[in-house]
Amino acid sequence: MAPKKTSDYPVKQRQINEDIANSTFKPCYLVYGDEAYLRIQNKEKLKKALLGGADSMNLSYYEGAGLNPLEIIDMAETLPFFAERRVILIENSGFFKQGCPELADYLKKPSETTAFLFVESAVDKRKDMYKAVHRMGLDISCDTPDETMLSKWIVSKLGAEKKRISPRAIAYLLTRVGTDMSNLVNEMEKLVSYCMDRDVITEADINAVCANWLTSRIFEMTDAIVVKDRKKAMDIYYDLLALKTAPEQILALIARQFNLLLITKELTDRGKSGEVASAIGLPPFIASKYIGWVKNYSYENLKAALDMCLDSDAAVKSGKLNNTISVEMIIVKSSAR
C-alpha cells in the first residue's frame, strides 16, 4: 500500500503567520485545496495583512475563467495609491489547471509594489503557474484535515468557548455531521448555545441539536441499492463524495445493510418474521421494509453481496483497489436488475 500522505499545512500556516507578524511578504501567495473553510480563512487573513490597512482602492479583484492576463499585468504595473503595495486577488481563474504562460513569465520578475494572492479549489502542479508561484512565493494546500487534526481543531474551537468534549463525542459528531469544516462550525455554534449553562458537551447534546443529514443520506443511498434504483444510488453517492464523506464509511454502511438483509432472510425463510425487528435491532415498521425487500433476493444473492463488500474492503486496505472506485463497483453490481 502506498504510504499515507502527510500534510504540510501546519508548516505553511506558520510561514504565513511569520510573514504577517514580520510584515515581510512574498511577491505571490497561492491558497488552494478542497476545504473551502480553510481557503476562506487564509484568503481573508492574507488579504487583510497585504493591504495593511490601506484603502480598498488598492485591491484589484478578478474572478472566474476567461480572465485577460495582459490586463492583470497592466494593473500589477500600476503604482499603489498612498500605500506600500497594490494587492491583486485572483480567484477560481483556472490558471493553475490550464496554465497561463504570460502571467507565469511575469511572476519571474514582478513589480516590487504589487502582491498577488491566488485562490483556487484545485491545481495542477505540472503547470507553469504553479511552478512560478512555488518558486517565487508560497503555496498552501487547504485539504480536509484527517480525523486526528479535526479532533484537535474541534477541541480548540470549543475550548475557546469554555466547553469540553470527549474523544467519543467528537467521533460521534463527525459521524453525524461529516468532516466539512464549515458545517462543523455551524453545528458547534448550535452546541455552544444549547449547552450555555454547562461546560461539557455530550453525545446526547449532539443528538439533540445536530442535523443528522449525513447518516440519513447514506441510508437513503443504501435503500436505493436494495430496491435496485441504480441512478438514485449513484447520484447520492456522488453527493456524499462532494460533501467529503469517506468512501470507507459508505462501504461499511452498505455492508451493514446487506448483513441486516441476510439476517432477515434467514429468519423469514424459517417462518420467524416476528423476530426480525429484535434480531436486527430496528423498529417493527422499519423491519417490515426489510421483510419486503428480501422477497427479491435469494440467500445466495445476499451472501455474495456481503462477501463482495468484505473482499472490496480487503482489496482497498492492501492497496490493490482505489476506495472511491471500489464503492462505485459495489453500487453498480448490487443495484443491477
Q: In this structure, are 173 and 194 located in the same domain?
A: yes
* Domain total in the chain: 3
- Are residues 135 and 154 both part of a single domain? no
Summarised one tens digit per residue, pLDDT across range 184-198 is 999 999 999 999 999
Reported as a single tens digit per residue, the pLDDT across 203-223 is 999 989 987 777 678 778 878
Contact (CB, 8 A) for 137 and 153: no
- Coil, helix or strand for 97? helix
Looking at the fold, whether 87 and 107 belong to one and the same domain comes out as: yes
Q: Over 80: is that where the pLDDT of 1 sits?
A: no
DSSP 76-91: HTSPPSSSS-EEEEEE
Predicted confidence band of residue 6 (pLDDT cuts 50, 70, 90): low
Q: How many helices, marked H, and strands, marked E, lie in the chain?
A: 17, 7
Q: Is the pLDDT of residue 5 over 70?
A: no
pLDDT digits (tens, 9 = 90+) for 138-147: 999 998 788 8
Residues 106 and 37 in one domain: yes
What is the enclosing helix (H) or strand (E) of 109? none
Average pLDDT over residues 36-53: 94
**Lookup: cell for 202:** 455530550
- 301 compared with 264, residue with greater pLDDT: 264
Residue 2 lies in a domain: no
Which residue carries 462543523 as its cell?
184
Closest CA to 30 of 136, 105, 187, 112: 136
Give the pLDDT confidence score for residue 62 in this predicted structure: 97
pLDDT band at 94 (very low <50, low <70, confident <90, very high): very high
Query: Is 90 exceeded by the pLDDT of residue 162?
Result: yes
Model confidence, pTM: 0.67
Percent of the chain topping pLDDT 70: 97
- Torsion sign over Cα 201, 205, 210, 215: positive
Q: Is residue 269 part of a domain?
A: yes
Q: SS3 string of 4-41? A: CCCCCHHHHHHHHHHHHHHCCCCCEEEEECCCHHHHHH
Same domain, 162 and 231: no
Quote the cell numbers at residue 237: 453517492
Cα torsion 152, 158, 162, 165: sign: negative
- Among the candidates 141, 174, 195, a domain finishes at 141
CATH code where residue 223 lies: 1.20.272.10
Q: Which of 242, 255, 275, 258 is nearest to 316 (CA)?
A: 255
Is residue 23, in this structure, part of any structural domain at all?
yes
Write down the pLDDT at residue 277.
86
Taking phi over 0 as left and psi of -120 to 50 as alpha, with beta for the rest, 138 belongs to: beta
Q: Are 37 and 145 in contact (CB under 8 A)?
A: no
Amino acid 152: pLDDT: 94
With cell 475550548, the residue in question is 159
Domain boundary among 209, 226, 250: 209
And the C-alpha cell for 176?
453525524
Judge if 161 and 237 occupy the same domain. no
Q: Over 60: is that where the pLDDT of 262 sits?
A: yes
For residues 254-277, average pLDDT:
89
CATH number at residue 102: 3.40.50.300
Whether residue 265 sits in one domain with residue 253: yes
The arithmetic mean of pLDDT across residues 26-53, rounded, is 94
Q: Within this chain, do residues 129 and 75 fall inside the same structural domain, yes or no?
A: yes
Residue 4 belongs to a domain:
no
Q: Residue 337 has what pLDDT? A: 66
Quote the cell numbers at residue 95: 490558471
Residue after which a domain boundary falls, among 83, 106, 141: 141
Task: Report if residue 1 sits inside a domain.
Answer: no
Helix (H, G, I), strand (E, B) or coil at 332: helix
How many Cα atoms occupy the beta-carbon half-sphere of 294 within 13 Å?
23
Q: Give the range of the structural domain holding residue 309, as residue numbers without chain letter.
A: 213-334
| Residue 298: inside a domain | yes
CATH number (domain holding residue 167):
1.10.8.60
Greater confidence, 46 or 56?
Answer: 46
The pLDDT mean for the chain works out to: 89
- pLDDT-derived band at 8, boundaries 50, 70, 90: confident
Q: Model confidence over 293-317: pLDDT tens digits?
A: 888 788 888 888 889 998 988 888 8
* pLDDT of 4 higher than 70: no
One domain for residues 47 and 122 = yes
Summarize the confidence of residues 96-103 as an average pLDDT: 95
Q: Please check whether residue 3 lies inside any domain of the structure.
A: no
End-to-end CA distance of the chain: 34
Domain assignment present for 256: yes
The residue among 174 and 151 whose pLDDT is bigger is 151
Per-residue model confidence (pLDDT) at position 203: 93
Q: Are residues 94 and 197 in the same domain?
A: no
| 151 & 133 share domain | no
Mean pLDDT across 117-136: 95
* Candidate from 60-74, 80-94, 157-171, 233-247 with smallest mean pLDDT: 233-247
Shared domain check, 246 and 203: no
C-alpha grid cell for residue 104?
507565469
Q: Over 50: is that where the pLDDT of 27 sits? A: yes
